[in-house]
Amino acid sequence: MEDRFIKLVRLAVQAVSLVLAVCALMTIGLIYFQVFYQPSHFEFGETKQLGVVTSIDDVKDGVHLPTGLKVDVNFELVVTNCTGCHSAKLITQNRANADGWSNIITWMQETQNLWDLGEDKSLIVDYLSKNYAPEQQSRRKPLANVEWYELED
């Protein structure tokens, strides 16, 4: 009887140590992961091509639904370089000509850690100044060639 009890206790102790050992291993693993794992996306100071996954479902009426950007030449460059820090809404809500866009980009490079875009800069400015140009005259043109008629009493 005594013997069986001791065996049981020994078994329980073994089981508890096993659980503790597993916990310890997981903790070490977690710490290791925290210390050594660094996501490589969006490192400042270099341009990363993340590869924009665009499926047909993502595009409606020429607009890329996840970002709201118009799909056009060099669209992917813009998604890759311009949506990492802030929403693409900052882009779609702004209007500027090529100089204006170039200045905005320079401002971000000088003050907001935007990386050097190299040759991509002019391609990006092309896209932006084409698709997000200053609004055209928003008022309709005056009517022309209207055939007026006399109001009769």
Q: Per CB under 6 A, which of residues 62..81 are in contact with ligand HEC?
A: 81
Check binding of 124 to ligand HEC (CB under 6 A). yes
HSE-up of 131 (CA within 13 Å, CB side)? Answer: 20
Reported for 103-112, long-range contacts at CB under 8 A and 24+ positions apart, including other chains, are 112/85
Check binding of 125 to ligand HEC (CB under 6 A). no
Minimum CB separation from ligand HEC for residue 76, in Å?
A: 12
CA distance 107 to 59: 31
Dig out the tokens for 53 from the structure. Answer: 């996954």
Q: If you search the block for the tokens 């009493």, which residue do you land on?
A: 153
Minimum CB separation from ligand HEC for residue 62, in Å?
A: 19
Please select the residue that binds ligand HEC; options are 90, 106, 116, 134, rule is CB under 6 A. Answer: 90
* Residues in touch with ligand HEC (CB under 6 A): 81-82, 84-86, 90-91, 94, 104-105, 108, 112-114, 124, 128
